[in-house]
Amino acid sequence: MGQTPSSRLPSSSSSGGDDAGVDYTAALPDDILAVVFSSLPHSVRNSCSLVCRRWLAVDSRSRRRLSLHARATLLAAAPSLFHRFPAVSTLSLTSHRRTSADSIGDDALAAVALGCPNLTRIKLRGLHSITASGMAALGAACPKIRKLSVSSCAFGSKGVSAIINGYANLEELSIKRLRGLSEPITISTSSSLRSICLKELYNGQCFAPLLTSSSNLRVLKLFRCSGDWDPLLEEIAVKISGIIEIHLEKLQVSDRGLAALASCSYLEVLRLIKTPECTDAGLTALAGSCRLLRKIHIDGWKTNRIGDLGLIAIANKCLNLQELVLIGVNPTAVSLKLIATNCSNLERLALCGSETFGDAEISCIASKCSALRKLCIKGCPVSDHGMESLAIGCPKLVKVKVKKCRGVTTEFAEWLRASRGSVIVNFDTIRGNEVQDLSVSESGILENGGDEVVLVDHDRVVELPSGSNGRPSLWKARMSVVVGRHFIASAFRGWSLGSICPRNT
């Protein structure tokens, strides 16, 4: 790979080798060469297409993905560009803030659609000039679109209505920061959507007709959308019982909404992130009916409204639990023992920013969780003494991650590595007055890479003093500390307190 044509290579006499002038890629069939190209990064693949005419032709015929700057000049370049890449099925059109005034309009979007009749996935970012007419034309020219992602566009409710009514095969829809949501979405045909993701919408209630009429809906994700969502969740739960994944983050939802979701008996994945009105009562009601839950992520935002009672209900009802992530939640050995005993399939466990997860709790996990494979502990009051139980517990353990736990030393981490050579130990410690970041991100995935289930956030964390009993006065501290920038940018527009995150000292 990467060789120049044989005519440009030095002769065997000058290089001293018998095969210095041989181009081994010439013997590769075009389809095999295309498979090799598909494994390369975009920058490397672009360079390879300039090596020779054959490589250029193979790359052009086999290119499936394109990412383009959506400037007005794309209108003139679209015919020749997509003539070169006829097999494109995934397309990203992005206009940055600095060039948003020069972004493409409906005419250019129609030209792109005509050049890519095989599109199945498309992303639109920052295209302020696109209207409902342009979105309708895109759907008419590309009937195979199954996945659509829209961010920072301005085609409003009419554009969404054109998408729902014109994209017959659409299965996944993601909308973020959409402008012009002044009226409810109009639905004239049955929706084929299986996944809906709404982020940072000022008037997200406009999507109520869509959410309640998507009978095939399986995944629902709501991030920082303003308004009271309890009534809508009740309606969704009544009309759509086949949902298997729900993600609620920084949303105005209470126990009323959680209790309504108990009707979704097929629910397998629940992510409840920074919803301070949700308590043990709502979680207990949901767990009582949703017994197929496999993954549960809870960020209690250190409000202490979700604790042992809710976790005990999960332990008693959700026996198929495989992954549990608790952030800003304070479980004790009482609930953790039940989870470890009843949930025999628990493979991944993460506890972050818990003030009650200490040596007794880690010993309980080590002795009871026989199926545990990955364990993450971050910012918890555990010590070397309690962590020693991992040397003989959890026989299937393959990875341990310990971050910012003041009681765990580097010497213990080295000892654990030596004691269990087959276990990967990822360890770091707090240096001086280092500020801990123990919150969950909007996406719910790792930033540091790897397979750990710990979650992190970009929000600024403020250090607060502890009370006499070792626990900070969390609610009073939260009322007195406000990170101004995040408060102003909050999508709740008056409801949310913004990013107020006390730190466990």
pLDDT of residue 498: 35
**Tokens 């309504």 map to which residue?**
260
Stretch(es) of the chain classified as CATH 3.80.10.10: 296-458
Given pLDDT bands bounded at 50, 70 and 90, which one contains residue 431?
low
What's the rounded Cα separation, in Å, for the pair 87 and 445?
32
pLDDT of residue 430: 65
Alpha-carbon distance values, 262 to 197, 251, 407 (Å): 20, 18, 40
| Average pLDDT of span 168-194 | 89
* Residue 432 scores a pLDDT above 90: no
Domain spanning 296-458, CATH class = alpha beta
The answer to whether 293 touches 318, Cβ cutoff 8 Å, is yes
Residue spans of beta strands (DSSP E) within 57-180: 65-69, 90-94, 121-125, 147-151, 172-176
* Residue 493 scores a pLDDT above 60: no
Given pLDDT bands bounded at 50, 70 and 90, which one contains residue 19?
low
pLDDT of residue 386: 93
**Tokens 């598909």 map to which residue?**
38
pLDDT of residue 492: 36
pLDDT of residue 284: 96
What is the percent of the chain where pLDDT is above 90?
57
Q: Could you tell me the sign of the dihedral formed by the alpha carbons of 445, 449, 454, 460, in that order?
A: negative
Across all residues in the chain, what is the average pLDDT?
81
| Average pLDDT of span 354-358 | 94
* Residue 337 scores a pLDDT above 90: yes
Which CATH architecture describes the domain 29-63? Answer: Up-down Bundle (1.20)
What's the rounded Cα separation, in Å, for the pair 186 and 166?
12
Pairing relation of β-strands 90-94 and 245-249? unpaired
pLDDT of residue 18: 55
How much is the pTM? 0.79
Q: Could you tell me the sign of the dihedral formed by the alpha carbons of 481, 252, 247, 331, in that order?
A: positive
Least confident of 87-101, 148-162, 319-333, 434-448: 434-448
What's the rounded Cα separation, in Å, for the pair 342 and 311?
12
* Residue 61 scores a pLDDT above 60: yes
Instruction: Give the 3-state secondary structure of residue 334.
Output: helix
pLDDT of residue 230: 96
Given pLDDT bands bounded at 50, 70 and 90, which one contains residue 396?
very high
Query: Which structure tokens are listed for 131?
Result: 């209207």
Encode pLDDT of 237-296 as tens digits.
999 989 999 999 999 999 999 999 999 999 999 999 999 999 999 999 999 999 999 999
- The pair phi, psi for residue 133, each rounded to 5°, is -65, -40
| Average pLDDT of span 197-226 | 93
Encode pLDDT of 223-234 as tens digits.
999 999 999 999
pLDDT of residue 101: 65
Q: Could you tell me the sign of the dihedral formed by the alpha carbons of 489, 490, 495, 499, in that order?
A: negative
Query: Which structure tokens are listed for 213?
Result: 């009429």
pLDDT of residue 289: 93
The answer to whether 216 touches 194, Cβ cutoff 8 Å, is yes
Encode pLDDT of 159-178 as tens digits.
999 999 999 899 999 999 99
Encode burial over 152-171: b for 16+ CB neighbours within 10 A, e otherwise. bbbbbbbbbbbbbbbbeebb
Q: What distance, in Å, lies between the first and last C-alpha atoms of the chain?
A: 54
Q: What is the largest distance, in Å, between two alpha-carbon atoms of the chain? A: 84
Least confident of 344-348, 363-367, 448-452: 448-452
Stretch(es) of the chain classified as CATH 1.20.1280: 29-63
What's the rounded Cα separation, in Å, for the pair 98 and 93?
15
Given pLDDT bands bounded at 50, 70 and 90, which one contains residue 21?
low
Q: Tell me the Cα Rg of the chain.
A: 27
Query: Which structure tokens are listed for 114?
Result: 């005509």
